[in-house]
Homo-oligomer: A and B are copies of this chain.
Amino acid sequence: MKALIKDKPVRGATLTDRPIPKIGDNDLLVKVRAAAVCGTDIHIYQWNEYASSRIKLPLLFGHEYAADVVEVGKNAGHFKKGDRVAAETHIPCGHCFQCTTGLQHICRDMQIIGVHTDGAFAEYSVLPAVCAWKLDPGISYEIGSTMEPFGIGVHAVSKTKPAGKKVVVYGCGPIGIYAQMVAKFSGAECVIGVDVAKERLSLAKQMGTDVVFNPKEVSVADEVNKITKGFGADIVIELTGNKNVVNDASKCLRRGGDMVLVGLYSGSVEWDLVNNVIYKEANVFGVTGRIMWDSWWTAQGILLSGKVDVTPVITHTFKLDDYDQAIQTAESASGGKVVFKL
């Protein structure tokens, strides 16, 4: 089968031929139909510090995908050949404190598909049954491949109650836009998107965000203050991963508001906790991944409601052969989601 392999500790990757993998008793063999490019995939391709400190070569990467089941492991009998599935990236151990209290997605001994195990930029992949989500017939493979990042948006927003509230989302990359869409869909009175990339601000507006701001051009805190008539935003969601943003973002928050941190920073963050968290009695929620499987059920409900069309967030599709161009497109941070169709 064709497979995109990270095989050398330098920028790039190699499309090569590999045997179709064997599965274990708890696995599914799946034929990949659509696979989306994640920030992690870009790190791996770039071979930056994040990647080189985590990844053992060679690695078949890619982890956001939808597929058809073609073989079912002995202990995975609740799936069958022909099932359409999407993949949850986090492989939980199933037995730790977190896994036994509904927090499998932050399992103590978690492995990640396409990081710790071979992934899905290939014609076939091994999907642990514990990570397989049956795709509703109403959801396409392309959309299915983005349910993983969409689920992060769902999870982030689900920490809050946006109905009738004002929500600021820092970051208009795909997950930022998903979070904005989910907040709007969940009844936010007003959703404000923040980014430095014009194309992303445009895409956010196109997808239904009420107002967008570029912090290079305006003071976001001042603008939020105006829009909220001096109250501050009820909810702030941080998705840039830029560590210089956190303190500013928390300035937008009203007293008693909710802040959700999702973006990943390199290094420590300087934060005026007294003024922006403690005196405000802010509730700050760290979010990583998706709740298994609450976030997926909610994501499915939203997608099937007929009120949200996430299709335009996929701004580019490629064949696997065009992987260089695909990943460079994603890297440019100027568009939305990049998806391989197989």
Within the complex, which residue of B247, B262, B281, B297 is in contact with A164, where a contact is CB–CB below 8 Å? Answer: B297
Q: Whole-angstrom distance from the CB of A46 to the nearest CB of chain B?
A: 18
**Is A51 an interface residue, CB under 8 A from the partner?**
no
Q: Is the CB of B305 within 8 A of A189?
A: yes
Within the complex, which residue of B105, B294, B305 is in contact with A101, where a contact is CB–CB below 8 Å? Answer: B294
Instruction: Note all chain B residues with C-beta closer than 8 A to A319.
Output: none
Q: Is the CB of A246 within 8 A of B264?
A: no
Instruction: Note all chain B residues with C-beta closer than 8 A to A293.
Output: 100-101
Q: Is the CB of B284 within 8 A of A274?
A: no
Contact of A286 with B287 at beta-carbon distance under 8 Å, contacts A186-B163, A187-B185, A305-B189 already known: no
Instruction: Note all chain B residues with C-beta closer than 8 A to A278.
Output: 261-262, 264, 286-288
A282 to B283, CA, bound (A): 11
**Is A106 an interface residue, CB under 8 A from the partner?**
yes
The interface bits of chain A over 161-175 (1 if a CB of B lies within 8 angstroms of the residue's CB, else 0) are 101111000000000
**Is A44 an interface residue, CB under 8 A from the partner?**
no
Q: Is the CB of B297 within 8 A of A286?
A: no
A283 to B157, CA, bound (A): 14
Within A317-334, the residues touching B (CB, 8 Å) are none
Within the complex, which residue of B100, B277, B301 is in contact with A284, where a contact is CB–CB below 8 Å? Answer: B277
Q: Whole-angstrom distance from the CB of A128 to the nearest CB of chain B?
A: 13
A292 to B231, CA, bound (A): 18
A95 to B83, CA, bound (A): 15
Q: Whole-angstrom distance from the CB of A210 to the nearest CB of chain B?
A: 9
Q: Whole-angstrom distance from the CB of A191 to the nearest CB of chain B?
A: 10
**Is A304 an interface residue, CB under 8 A from the partner?**
yes
Nearest CB to that of A265 among chain B residues?
B274
Q: Whole-angstrom distance from the CB of A110 to the nearest CB of chain B?
A: 9
Q: Is the CB of B279 within 8 A of A106?
A: yes
Nearest CB to that of A108 among chain B residues?
B255
| Residue from A188, A243, A299 with most neighbouring chain B CB atoms (10 Å) | A188
Nearest CB to that of A301 among chain B residues?
B164
Instruction: Note all chain B residues with C-beta closer than 8 A to A243.
Output: 273
A163 to B155, CA, bound (A): 11
**Is A9 an interface residue, CB under 8 A from the partner?**
no
The interface bits of chain A over 299-316 (1 if a CB of B lies within 8 angstroms of the residue's CB, else 0) are 111101100000000000
- A–B complex contacts, Cβ < 8 Å, 17 sampled: A26-B75, A78-B94, A101-B102, A101-B256, A101-B293, A102-B102, A106-B280, A106-B281, A163-B186, A187-B302, A187-B305, A189-B302, A190-B305, A264-B274, A281-B285, A281-B288, A283-B284
